[in-house]
């Protein structure tokens, strides 16, 4: 309040609070000042820093619903946009996906599935609708016979380059994560290659890229998000939207694993990479979420 904004105080208070604490802060702010904290932040902050703070302060299901909508409404529909939907369906719990779908309906007066159908072309549309429409069982229950049979189905579809085959959609969209990991292991054992390698051999189009992200998000989410961060900062310029999404959305889930994977692949720390490609309050906020000090 008053002249100017104390960005350092915002970073110190919000950047060091978990989701439950941030929710309580928002509720108390509303009670004390009869104003939404999110609206207050939107009126005072701007740019990449403002977007990162608002995403971090938002309830996770609402945050991810807005990210999905932004991706679907983008005039571009490349892998950077489509992978946002894949992440929601494959790198988070089934309960979170349900909460995101509910938030999406409340915010945008239509379902996530409807907007995918309206904004994404076949065959990627078929994969995405299958992924977001399911509710995976979340316990560690596996069947080795099913894994063997479905590894064969996946191999047959890949050999025929029918990556949107009904069997592929059914298997990837409905089986629990533990079952799918066993199926991928069977695939490697029976056919010699990791399944993502054989998917890549089918071509370099958007469908192949989407299926590779699906497999990574199921098998090793930290590998996927480490790659999202790397891709966002290599080359000329920085893809701040992707960088912000990866760090904000995974800071409370598996950032330690992502940092380890990033170092393993790139031989440099994630913190050093972020410092080299960001500046000012935006850099300070991301580093706070990473648990680092400047």
Q: Which residues are annotated as a binding site for Ca(2+)?
A: 2, 4, 44, 233, 237, 277-278
Residue of 278, 267, 200 whose CA lies nearest to 238: 278
Structure tokens at 247: 């760090």
Cβ contact 150:175 at 8 Å: yes
Residue of 83, 87, 56, 58 whose CA lies nearest to 72: 83
Measured CA distances, 249 to 40, 45, 60 (Å): 22, 20, 8
Instruction: Count Cβ neighbours within 10 Å for each residue of 44-61 and write b for 16 or more, e otherwise.
Output: ebeebbbbbbbbbbbebb
Instruction: Give the C-alpha separation, 186 to 151, whole Å.
Output: 6
Residue of 18, 17, 11 whose CA lies nearest to 45: 11
Cα four-point dihedral sign 94, 100, 105, 110: negative
Query: Residues comprising the binding site?
Result: 2, 4, 44, 233, 237, 277-278
Residue 137 DSSP code:
-
Instruction: Give the C-alpha separation, 169 to 125, whole Å.
Output: 11
Q: What is the dihedral of CA 276, 17, 83, 106, to 10 degrees?
A: -140
CA angle 111, 114, 120 (to 5 degrees): 130
Structure tokens at 140: 């560690």
Structure tokens at 51: 């977007």
């Amino acid at each position: 309040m008053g002249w100017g904004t104390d960005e350092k105080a915002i970073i110190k208070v919000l950047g060091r609070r978990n989701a439950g604490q941030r929710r309580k802060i928002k509720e108390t702010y509303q009670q004390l000042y009869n104003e939404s904290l999110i609206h207050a932040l939107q009126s005072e902050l701007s740019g990449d820093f403002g977007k990162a703070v608002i995403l971090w302060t938002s309830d996770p299901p609402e945050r991810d619903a807005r990210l999905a909508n932004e991706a679907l409404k983008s005039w571009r529909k490349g892998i950077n946009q489509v992978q946002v939907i894949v992440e929601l369906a494959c790198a988070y719990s089934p309960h979170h996906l349900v909460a995101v779908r509910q938030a999406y309906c409340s915010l945008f007066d239509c379902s996530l599935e409807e907007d995918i159908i309206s904004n994404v072309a076949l065959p990627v549309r078929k994969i995405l609708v299958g992924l977001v429409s399911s509710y995976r069982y979340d316990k560690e229950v596996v069947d080795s016979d099913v894994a063997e049979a479905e590894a064969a189905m996946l191999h047959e579809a890949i050999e025929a380059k029918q990556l949107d085959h009904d069997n592929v959609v059914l298997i990837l969209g409905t089986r629990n994560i533990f079952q799918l990991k066993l199926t991928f292991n069977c695939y490697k054992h029976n056919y010699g290659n990791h399944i993502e390698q054989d998917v890549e051999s089918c071509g370099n189009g958007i469908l192949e890229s989407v299926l590779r992200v699906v497999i990574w998000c199921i098998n090793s989410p930290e590998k996927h998000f480490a790659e999202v961060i790397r891709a966002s900062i290599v080359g000329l310029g920085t893809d701040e939207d992707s960088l912000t999404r990866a760090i904000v959305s995974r800071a409370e889930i598996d950032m330690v694993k992502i940092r380890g994977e990033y170092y393993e692949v790139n031989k440099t720390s994630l913190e050093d990479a972020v410092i080299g490609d960001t500046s000012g309050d935006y850099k300070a906020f991301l580093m706070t979420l990473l648990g680092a000090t400047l």
